[in-house]
Structure 1
Amino acid sequence: MLRTTAGVVGPDFDAVRAEFDVPLRFGDDVVAEAVRVAADPPLPEHDRTDLELVTLDPLGSRDLDQAVHLQRRAGGYRVSYAIADVGGFVVLGGALDAEARRRGQTLYCPDGRTPLHPAELSEGAASLLPGQLAPAALWTIDLDGDGEVTAVDLRRAQVRSRAQLDYAAVQAQVDAGALDGPLALLPEIGALLHARALARGAIELGTPSQEVEAGPDGWRVVFRGQADVEDWNAQVSLLTGGCAARLMLDGGVGVLRTLPPPAPADVAALRRLAPALDVDWPEGAAPGAVIAGLDPALPRHAAFLDEAASLLRGAAYTAFDGTPPAEPGHGGVGGPYAHVTAPLRRLVDRFGTEVCLALAAGAEPEPELRATLPLLPALMAASDRHTKEVERAVVDATEAALLAGRVGETFPAVVLDAGGDRATVVLDDLAVRARCDGAGQRPGERVTVRLTQADPATRAVRFVPA
C-alpha cells in the first residue's frame, strides 16, 4: 500500500526501501479490520458540526489530522482544534494496533509514502476531509489578550470540516491582506504564541530542511524554508501539546516529548563562535532570542544555525504513571510538551490523546492503556531512527545521482562546519550537502570545491578544496 508518483526518473528509491525493510503493504487482517471499522465510524453524541473548521496542510494531503477555527472573544481568543479520533477506530490489541506499533509513524519518500494506517482510515473515515462527518477529539482553548491559557476543554465530538486549505494558498492570502474566515486570526494568534515561546526560552532553529522533490528533469534536492503560515499553524499545535502535557502532569499519568535544557558548555561554545560568524549576541540574551534574529540565507548565519543544533540534543519520549519525571520540559518548546495532534501519522499521539480525554473527563485512563505507555518511548525511538535513516539515504541517493559523471568539476560552496581535516559544505546551486576532505576550512567561509566521488550505488559523495 505504497503511494507513488509515477513517471518521474531518478535514483532508485525502491532499493532504499528494500535495504531498510520499509513495509510496502498491510496484511490482510489489518486491511480487513480497517474496512470493518471504517464502515461504521464511532460518532460521539456531542455534535459540533456547527463549528466552521478548516484544515491547513501541504497541497494534496489526504491524511488530515487537524482542523482549526479561531475566533476573538472578550479579552482574548478562542482556539478550537479538532484532532482526528484515531483511538475511536483502533482497538487496543487488535491487528490495526499491532501494525501501527510495528511501523511507529508514516514514512515519506519523494515518490510516495508508507502510511501508519491503511488508506481506509488515514485517507478515509478517520481523516478530517472537507464535508465528511467525522469523530474528533475537540480541544477548546481560551487565551487572554497576551496569549496566556485561561481555560481548556477537551471532549469527543462529531465535526465536519468546511474546507481543505494548503499553505501556499493561505500564505498568498496573507501576503495580499485578504485572509478571512476561520483562519483570519492565524497571523495575530500565531505571532503572539511565537513571541510567548521565545520569552519562555524556546529555541526554534528555523533552518531550511533538505528535501527531494520532482523537477522538470527528474528528482532534485532543494532547501525548503518554512512559510509564516506554517510557523503560525505549528504554534497552534504546540499550544495544544502544551495543554496536553499540563493535563498529564496534573493527572499524574501520560507520555511527554522531552528535551533537556541546553548544556551551559554548549551555550558558551556557541557564544564564543558568534563573533567569527558575524552574529550579534547581546549580553543577557537567551540563545533562542539570538537565533530568532538570524537569516538562514546568509552563509555565516547558516553556519551558526548548523552549530546551534548542538543545543537540541537528547529528545525523547518519557512515560510516567504516578510521580512525574524530574525534568518534564522540552528545551526547544520552552516548557512541558506532549505529542497529541498527529494521530493519523504518529503512533504516540493516539495514546496521548486517549490519556488526555480520560483525564479531561475526570476519569482514570483504562488499565490496558496505562500498561502500554511504558512501551511507547522505545517504540518511537526505534521508529524515529528508522525514519531518519531512510530520509538520509533518500537524500544521499539523489545527491549521488545528480553528481554522477561530474567527478573533477568544481562548484561554489559554503562551509557549514569544520574540524580537523574535514568539513561539511553546501553547494550553492544544487542544494547538495556533503563531506569535504581537507584542513584549514572555516565555518561560514565561501569556498570552491572539487568533486572527487559521486557513486549512486553506495550513495557516497565527496569533495576536496579546489
Structure 2
Amino acid sequence: MPLQKVRFAEDVPEVFRASLQDIRRELEVPAAFPPEVTAAALAAAGNARLPELDRTDLPFVTIDPPDSMDLDQAVHIERTSTGYTVYYAIADVAAYVQPGDPIDLEARRRGETLYAPDKRTPLHPPELSEAAASLLPGQIRPAVLWTMTLDATGEGTAVTCERALMKSRAKLNYAGVQKDLDAGTAPEPLQLLREVGKLREQRELDRGGVNLPIPDQEVVTSNHGWGLEFRAPLPVEGWNAQISLLTGMAAAELMMKGKIGILRTLPESHDDLRRKLGNTAKALGIEWPDATPYAQFIHGLDPKVPANAAMLAACTVLFRGAGYSAFDGSVPEQPQHAAMKAEYAHATAPLRRLVDRWTSEICVALSAGTEVPAWVRESMDEIPKMMDEADRRAHAYERAIVSMVEAGLVADQVGAEFDGVITEVDERENGRGVVALTKIAIEGRVTGTALPLGRQARVRLVEADIAKRTIAFELLH
C-alpha cells in the first residue's frame, strides 16, 4: 500500500514528541545501528566492487526532494528515430554489501526505511545510503543500469539490465525541475521526461491501472490553532514515478520470461472497498457515478483540490492486501498487480527497500544469460516474509503517526458537534462504525444505534487523545 507522509511546517511540537517515541517503542522501530554494522559500512565504503562497463558519458541527473541524500535513481532520456531510449541508473547496493555480512543481516531485520516527522530510520547505515552508495552529483558510482527502448507511444520494446559505472551531473529537486519545465528553460532530457511520463500515464489509464499521487499531509499553525493541509504532488513527480514503474514492469517481464523472481502482487479489490470509497467520496462532496470504474475516477481527481487530495489518501485502501510472490522454476498463477493492471516488481529503491537488491541481482543475471547467484536462490522463500513484516511495520507506523496528528488537531474540541458521513458499519459489533467528517479530512470511530451507512450524520466528538492516538464520536442524528 502506498505510504502517506506527515510533515510539520515548523519543528515538531513538544506535545507530539513523547507520542512519537512511544510509537517507535511499541512497534520496535530500530534505533541506532550496532557498532559492528557501522564499522562494516565504513570499511565497505572504501572497498566497492566496481564493474568494467563505463557509462560515465551519460549525463544522468537525480530528481528528489531537496533534503534527500539517499539517492537511489538517476535518469537520462534520449529521443530516437522510432521513439525513446530511457537510461535509468539504480544504486548498486551489492557492490558494497556481501550476503551474510553485518550490513546485510541488519538490513534483513529492518526491511525498509521508515519515515516520521522528526526522524528517518534508514535501511542501511548513512555511511552507505547517504554517502558512498548514493548517486550523489559529481561522483563516479557503481550502478545497475537499465536501458529501455520505447516506441513513439511509450510502449517498451526492449530492455537490458547490467552493471556499469555512472556519474550524476546534478542533484535536482521536483520544484526546480517543474519551474524550468513550465518556463520552457529545461534541457531536452527533462523535456523528454515530461513527454515520456505523459505517454506512460496515458498507457496506464488505457489499461485501467492506478498509480496514486499520494499527497503529503502538512501540519501548520495559525491564529486559530492547528491545521492539516495536503501538499499535492507536482506533475513532474508523477512523470518521474512513471519511469520507476516502467522499470518495475520491465523487471517483472524479465523475471516472468526467466521463470525466477519476486513480484509485487495484489488481488482484485472487492465490492466492500468500492462501497467504502463511495461513502468517503460522498462525505467529501465528490461525485462518483456508479458506472465509472475506480481507475477512471482516480485519474480524474486533482490533488491540488483539498477534497480530492483527501480522497486520494483514502484510496490507498485499494492497495490493501499487496504482497510479494517469489518463484523459481514456474511463474505464479496470479502474477498481476491488480491496481496497476500489469505484472510489476520493486526494482528502483535498493537503498531504502530490501527486496530491490534481490531484483537487481536476478535481472542482471537474466539479462546477461548467466546463473542467478546462489545466495539469491537460497533466500527466495525468506524475502517475501521479511518484506511482509517490514511493510506491516511501515504501515502501522504511518497509521499511528497520522492518528496521533489527527487527534492533536481536534484535542481541544471534545464535546463539539460535526457533520460527516458514516463510511463503515461493523457488522460483527452492532452500533460501531467509522465516520468521515465533512469539513475536516479526519475519520474516527463512531458509536450509536442504527448507524446510517453512506448517509449524512451529525456526530459529537467524545474523545481525542494524542497519547492513545484515538478519536471517537457518538451519533446524534
Could you tell me how far 1:115 is from its partner in structure 2? 0.3
**Contact 1:259–1:314, Cα closer than 8 Å, also in 2:** yes
- AA aligned to 1:460 is T
Q: 2:250 aligns with which of 236, 243, 259?
A: 243
Find the counterpart in structure 2 of residue 280 from structure 1. Answer: 289
Alignment partner of 2:115: what SS? strand
Find the counterpart in structure 1 of residue 423 from structure 2. Answer: 417
- AA aligned to 1:60 is D
Could you tell me how far 1:176 is from its partner in structure 2? 3.0
- AA aligned to 2:362 is V
User: How many Å separate the matches in 2 of 1:91 and 1:214?
Assistant: 44
Alpha carbons of 1:59 and 1:307: their partners in 2 closer, same or farther (altered >3 Å)? closer
Q: Percent sequence identity over matched residues?
A: 45
Q: 2:54 aligns with which of 44, 47, 57?
A: 47
Unaligned runs of 5+ in 2: 1-7
User: How many Å separate the matches in 1 of 2:402 and 2:279?
Assistant: 29
**Contact 1:106–1:113, Cα closer than 8 Å, also in 2:** yes
Alignment partner of 2:467: what SS? coil
User: How many Å separate the matches in 2 of 1:294 and 1:221?
Assistant: 19
Could you tell me how far 1:108 is from its partner in structure 2? 0.4
User: How many Å separate the matches in 2 of 1:275 and 1:56?
Assistant: 33
Could you tell me how far 1:391 is from its partner in structure 2? 1.5
Alpha carbons of 1:270 and 1:161: their partners in 2 closer, same or farther (altered >3 Å)? same
Could you tell me how far 1:270 is from its partner in structure 2? 8.2
**Contact 1:270–1:308, Cα closer than 8 Å, also in 2:** no
User: How many Å separate the matches in 2 of 1:304 and 1:404?
Assistant: 23
Find the counterpart in structure 1 of residue 466 from structure 2. Answer: 456
Alpha carbons of 1:318 and 1:62: their partners in 2 closer, same or farther (altered >3 Å)? same
- Kindly indicate whether residue 83 of structure 2 is the aligned counterpart of residue 73 of structure 1: no
1:180-203 residue CA offsets vs partner (Å, 9 max, x unmatched): 243121221111001111222213
Find the counterpart in structure 2 of residue 352 from structure 1. Answer: 359
Alpha carbons of 1:25 and 1:405: their partners in 2 closer, same or farther (altered >3 Å)? same
**Contact 1:271–1:281, Cα closer than 8 Å, also in 2:** no
- AA aligned to 1:419 is V
Find the counterpart in structure 2 of residue 150 from structure 1. Answer: 157
Find the counterpart in structure 2 of residue 10 from structure 1. Answer: 15
Alpha carbons of 1:463 and 1:224: their partners in 2 closer, same or farther (altered >3 Å)? farther
Could you tell me how far 1:399 is from its partner in structure 2? 2.4
Could you tell me how far 1:40 is from its partner in structure 2? 2.3
User: How many Å separate the matches in 2 of 1:444 and 1:435?
Assistant: 16
Could you tell me how far 1:43 is from its partner in structure 2? 2.4
Alpha carbons of 1:267 and 1:458: their partners in 2 closer, same or farther (altered >3 Å)? closer
**Contact 1:10–1:398, Cα closer than 8 Å, also in 2:** no
Alpha carbons of 1:372 and 1:219: their partners in 2 closer, same or farther (altered >3 Å)? farther
**Contact 1:319–1:373, Cα closer than 8 Å, also in 2:** yes
Could you tell me how far 1:274 is from its partner in structure 2? 11
User: How many Å separate the matches in 2 of 1:122 and 1:331?
Assistant: 32
- Kindly indicate whether residue 435 of structure 2 is the aligned counterpart of residue 428 of structure 1: no
- AA aligned to 2:436 is V
1:375-425 residue CA offsets vs partner (Å, 9 max, x unmatched): 1111011111111111211222222233333322345x5537243643332
Alignment partner of 2:30: what SS? coil
Alignment partner of 2:413: what SS? coil
Find the counterpart in structure 1 of residue 230 from structure 2. Answer: 223
Summarize the alignment of residues 358-397 of structure 1 with structure 2, pairs less than 5 Å apart.
Answer: 358-397=365-404
Could you tell me how far 1:465 is from its partner in structure 2? 5.1
* Stretch deviating more after TM superposition (314-323 or 182-191): 182-191
Could you tell me how far 1:434 is from its partner in structure 2? 2.5
**Contact 2:12–2:118, Cα closer than 8 Å, also in 1:** no
Could you tell me how far 1:297 is from its partner in structure 2? 7.3
Unaligned runs of 5+ in 1: none
* Stretch deviating more after TM superposition (145-154 or 164-173): 164-173
User: How many Å separate the matches in 2 of 1:253 and 1:291?
Assistant: 33
User: How many Å separate the matches in 2 of 1:259 and 1:234?
Assistant: 19
Q: 1:96 aligns with which of 98, 103, 110?
A: 103
Could you tell me how far 1:459 is from its partner in structure 2? 1.6
1:256-312 residue CA offsets vs partner (Å, 9 max, x unmatched): 10112345x569868998997632355xx6542243224567798789768865654
Alpha carbons of 1:16 and 1:84: their partners in 2 closer, same or farther (altered >3 Å)? same
* Stretch deviating more after TM superposition (8-17 or 106-115): 8-17
Summarize the alignment of residues 24-423 of structure 1 with structure 2, pairs less than 5 Å apart.
Answer: 24-206=31-213, 208-209=215-216, 211=217, 213=219, 221-263=228-270, 265=271, 278-280=287-289, 282=291, 286-295=293-302, 311-411=318-418, 414-415=420-421, 417-419=423-425, 421=431, 422-423=433-434
Alignment partner of 1:185: what SS? helix
Alignment partner of 2:268: what SS? coil
User: How many Å separate the matches in 1 of 2:226 and 2:321?
Assistant: 33
Could you tell me how far 1:432 is from its partner in structure 2? 3.5
User: How many Å separate the matches in 2 of 1:147 and 1:416?
Assistant: 42
What's the C-alpha RMSD, in Å, of the aligned pairs?
Answer: 3.1
Could you tell me how far 1:136 is from its partner in structure 2? 0.5
Alpha carbons of 1:362 and 1:235: their partners in 2 closer, same or farther (altered >3 Å)? same
**Contact 1:87–1:351, Cα closer than 8 Å, also in 2:** no
Alignment partner of 1:131: what SS? coil
Could you tell me how far 1:457 is from its partner in structure 2? 2.4
Alpha carbons of 1:309 and 1:21: their partners in 2 closer, same or farther (altered >3 Å)? closer
Could you tell me the TM-score, scaled by structure 2's length? 0.86
- AA aligned to 1:425 is A
Alignment partner of 1:314: what SS? coil
User: How many Å separate the matches in 1 of 2:281 and 2:414?
Assistant: 36
Could you tell me how far 1:427 is from its partner in structure 2? 6.0
Alpha carbons of 1:451 and 1:268: their partners in 2 closer, same or farther (altered >3 Å)? closer
User: How many Å separate the matches in 1 of 2:342 and 2:348?
Assistant: 17
May I ask how many residue pairs the two structures share in their alignment?
A: 456
Could you tell me how far 1:32 is from its partner in structure 2? 0.9
User: How many Å separate the matches in 1 of 2:180 and 2:293?
Assistant: 34
